[in-house]
A and B are shown apart, each in its own frame.
Chain A
Amino acid sequence: MTLLAVRDLTKRFGGLTAVDGVSFDVHEGAIKAVIGPNGAGKSTLFNLLTGFEKADAGQVTLAGEPLLGRRPSDIVGCGVARTFQNTQLFEELTVAENVLVGLHRRLKAGLGRSALRIAVRSEERWAEREAARLLALIGIERWAETPAADLPQGVRRSCEIARALATGPRVLLLDEPAAGLNRSETDALGSVLYRIRDAGVTTVVVEHDMGLVMEVSEEIVVLDRGRKIAEGPPLLIQKDPAVLEAYLGEEPDDEL
């Protein structure tokens, strides 16, 4: 069943078309990868899906519900959460507090109720249990009380994933989760991705680490200069002439 449907999505920056009529589907429960050379429009795609950039044309629906035009915080409420290529953690807050912020929409106490402590205690207790559960799921429970500013890179990425999961998403968008990780951290990330899928969350991952992409993803979308040039299972993508051309043709690099 299609959960996330992207249709003819387009974004222009001046004369440059960063995302050019891109369409694809993400099936419920899948891990889908989006790859492409630098500047292919992958991060812009994520920014469009999450409301951080306004699309010029196209449609995005989550289980039939349109997402475009909504504010980022509302899109989170619809069930789409994300991480960032440059982690956007709350540096002064502990890992546990970062995850508690992710629970924001699943808690109810506003200014008035909090000020008067009306039914706050039970809600906060639930939140702390839920945060602890998520930290354990991602495997960073021993960092719970550490301020985000003091974390090693791998744990920073994990903390942001845990925070995104805390929003209770149906679709999780991960923007280069392996960037800055060493080999063993990347392997650990792979098993975290499987655990997230097993928890019933559909994942779309933008990633340069081809080992990880080929291992975990069921389907791959390849972007080049804003356009979708290929889509399919990893084994076919690896042999696709258009993909090889995009990666090796003009500016050879070691990404594939």
Chain B
Amino acid sequence: MIATLLTRVRYGAVIAIGVVVAVLPLLTGDRYLIGKVLVFVALNLIIVSGLALVFGFAGQISLGHAAFCGLGAYTTGFLVTTLDWPPLLGVVAAVLISGLGGLALALPSLRLKGHYLAMATLGFNEIMSVLFVEMDAVTGGNNGLSGIPYFSVAGARFDTPALNYWLVWGVAAVVLALAYNIVRGRPGRAMRALHGSEIGALASGVDTTRLKVQVFGLSAAFAGLAGALYAHSVGFVSPTTFSLETSVILVAMVVIGGSGSLAGPVMAAVVLTLVPYADALVPGLSADTVALMQDWEADVYGILMIGVIILAPGGLGRLLVSRRDRRVAEAGEAA
């Protein structure tokens, strides 16, 4: 009964947050907040949901997720601006290409473990970064691609900051729901098993290679979707956005959020995305302070990551769970 109550409380919290997120554009017309900062939060939620599956649940690190994001952004950017494709097809193509890219990288790399997998995916990110610059007939080189229109489908245009905000958050909500359904079901169990003991997972009949490749492909597709929506939200893409540093920050979000948890990385993604844009939330923050925070962004993440590894190895997600368990236990004793 207590468990049901807690479930209800949690569902209630999720709905309340959903309502606040949904009505926010009606309460404020702040273009910086609605048009940019909170859109970035939603996009990082999409990427981190996928990265939490492959890294937090299945235990396979990827330092290449920024590259998949870039692959998605450039795919739709090129198709929509240069070839005049409708944005819907551009985004669909972006998801497919980054998903296939994920499968192509996963097939050879997932035979590797630990540091070697980290190196392979890191190398992939670096190669893609070079390609984004060098393939300038498609990518626009260092200048990138500009003039990418807002998303539209069958006459419905998401061509104001508020409409775009709702679109991106709507997609983020769907992706989160899909990821949540995966982790609480049979594939999520198999992923946690693989993380715990690959030998044990094999002995339980889990085809671990297939599982790793599938999950990696799915999570690359999520990253590509986020990249494509980024391109349509911001209107231009440039190569520096999808650097290794971005991949490291994404991994930091999952580490700080905790392995084997979706809620933890989601919260970490929200907080860490907001750090460099604190001026959007805290009025009166001086430009110098903001510049300082942006300069120190990576250092802050690094320190947070070290702190989490030392003080709370399970990450934010674990803290939540153990607190919940304590509450259940106390309530049980009281009853």
Contact A101 B206 (CB under 8 A): yes
Contact B189 A97 (CB under 8 A): yes
The verdict on B292 contacting chain A, using a C-beta distance below 8 Å, is no
Most chain B beta-carbon contacts within 10 A, residue among A73, A102, A124, A164? A73
The verdict on B91 contacting chain A, using a C-beta distance below 8 Å, is no
Residues in B whose Cβ lies below 8 Å from that of A123: 186
**Assembly CA distance A91 to B328 (angstroms):** 22
18 contacts between A and B (CB under 8 A): A52-B199, A52-B202, A72-B202, A73-B206, A76-B202, A88-B197, A88-B200, A92-B192, A93-B192, A93-B193, A102-B204, A104-B186, A110-B214, A114-B181, A114-B186, A116-B181, A163-B204, A167-B204
Residues in B whose Cβ lies below 8 Å from that of A97: 189, 192
Contact A76 B203 (CB under 8 A): yes
Contact (A101, B185) CB under 8 Å given A73-B202, A89-B197: no
The verdict on B182 contacting chain A, using a C-beta distance below 8 Å, is yes
Least Cβ–Cβ distance between B39 and chain A, in angstroms: 24
Within 8 A of A (CB), among B185-229: 185-190, 192-193, 195-197, 199-208, 214-215, 218
**Assembly CA distance A225 to B167 (angstroms):** 68
Contact B186 A84 (CB under 8 A): no
Residue of B181, B193, B199, B206 near A84 (CB, 8 A) is: B199
- Tell me the dominant secondary structure on chain B's binding face: helix
Contact A111 B202 (CB under 8 A): no
Shortest Cβ distance from B208 into A: residue = A73
Shortest Cβ distance from B203 into A: residue = A82
* Chain B: interface residue total (CB-CB under 8 A): 29
Residue positions of A touching B, CB distance < 8 A: 50, 52, 71-74, 76-77, 81-84, 88-93, 97-98, 100-102, 104-105, 107, 109-111, 114-117, 120, 123-124, 127, 163-164, 166-167
**Assembly CA distance A52 to B201 (angstroms):** 12
Contact B205 A167 (CB under 8 A): yes
The verdict on B70 contacting chain A, using a C-beta distance below 8 Å, is no
**Assembly CA distance A72 to B197 (angstroms):** 14
Contact A100 B205 (CB under 8 A): no
Contact (A101, B208) CB under 8 Å given A73-B202, A76-B203: no
Contact B260 A92 (CB under 8 A): yes
Contact A88 B203 (CB under 8 A): yes
Shortest Cβ distance from A87 into B: residue = B200
**Assembly CA distance A35 to B201 (angstroms):** 27
Contact B186 A109 (CB under 8 A): yes
The verdict on B21 contacting chain A, using a C-beta distance below 8 Å, is no
Shortest Cβ distance from B180 into A: residue = A115
Residue of B185, B192, B206, B207 near A124 (CB, 8 A) is: B185
**Assembly CA distance A79 to B207 (angstroms):** 15
Residue of B189, B201, B214, B260 near A100 (CB, 8 A) is: B189
